[in-house]
A and B are shown apart, each in its own frame.
Chain A
Amino acid sequence: MIRSPLVTKTLFMVGPIPISETVVVTWGLMAALALAAWFTTRSLALKASRSQTVLELIVGAIEDQIQNTIRAAPKPYVSMIGTLFLFILVANWSSLVPGIEPPTAHIETDAALGLIVFFAIVYFGIRARGLGGYLKTFAEPTIIMIPLNVVETFTRTFSLIVRLFGNIMSGVFIIGIILSLAGLLVPIPLMALDLLVGAIQAYIFTVLAMVFIGSAVSEGGAGGSTERGSP
């Protein structure tokens, strides 16, 4: 991947719509995740099998994180947050398969994920406080803060998008450059670093989504959480 990271490669056309490689990989990952979830939840038993135990461990860990970060019952959030985390993790690690570029290395995928978080914040905020209550949070410390709070709503989504894009794309890019400069087996340590970065970025994306949702739904504004606010 030495060509520009801002353009996508078109694989084929469906009518007038060009289908890029990113879209194909994304749908492949979605199908794989959905099939894996379907197969493991098809025969749930009280005495858990091996795959069911792994699944329960993952869901339990995600629920625990939501409980700790949002400080509310995790039930309404666990499906969205869990799906975001698993999809981003699998997408970041999909660069392990030869010939596949992670879809999160293209800004369109990240923009879609960021927009999901943006609308989820608005949805959960309005559901928890009502429309008037949610709009009132923009004037929270004083009324002078309204422009800053409105700008912050958009910039934090933008920084969420650009953070994921920049980290994953730079990993792919650096591996491409080193491969072309040094040779076959040299980029392996960097690929290991890439796995770590991919896991951390998936974690950070979901934790930040949880922090933003938590700041939108927490009662009384302050809510005792010190993790509110961000660039």
Chain B
Amino acid sequence: MNWNEIVSIFAAAMAVSFGAIGPALGEGRAVAAAMDAIARQPEAAGTIARTLFVGLAMIETMAIYCLVIALLVLFANPFIH
């Protein structure tokens, strides 16, 4: 274990943990707003659900990017090999 590997593992954990905070808050707000909209207007539930899923996928992409960065740091790190 040299310093590069220790720092890499730490960086991967930091990337995933802090990268998950923002999308989690955003998805919570989006789902709450969609629930509110469906409760007010149940006949538009289909359209709201479709738009909600697409929007959630967009928000989730940010967390997925962090995960991919963490995996790159762990498994394809250019500074270790």
Contact = CB atoms under 8 A, between A and B. Distances in A.
A159 B54 CA distance: 13
Contacts of B58: 230-231
Interface in B49-66: 50-51, 53-54, 57-58, 60-61, 64-65
- Chain A contact-residue range equals 20 to 34
B67 A200 contact: no
B75 interface: yes
A167 B64 contact: yes
Given A227-B51, A227-B54, A4 B61 contact: no
Interface in A116-175: 159, 162-163, 165-167, 169-170
A177 to B, nearest CB: 12
B53 A207 contact: yes
A165 to B, nearest CB: 8
Contacts of A230: 58
12 contacts: A6-B71, A6-B75, A162-B64, A166-B65, A166-B68, A167-B64, A169-B71, A200-B57, A203-B53, A204-B57, A208-B54, A208-B57
A223 interface: no
A5 interface: yes
Contacts of A208: 54, 57
Q: Is the contact region of chain A dominated by helix, strand, or loop, or is it mixed? A: helix
Given A162-B61, A230-B58, A207 B67 contact: no
A87 to B, nearest CB: 18
A197 to B, nearest CB: 10
B76 interface: yes
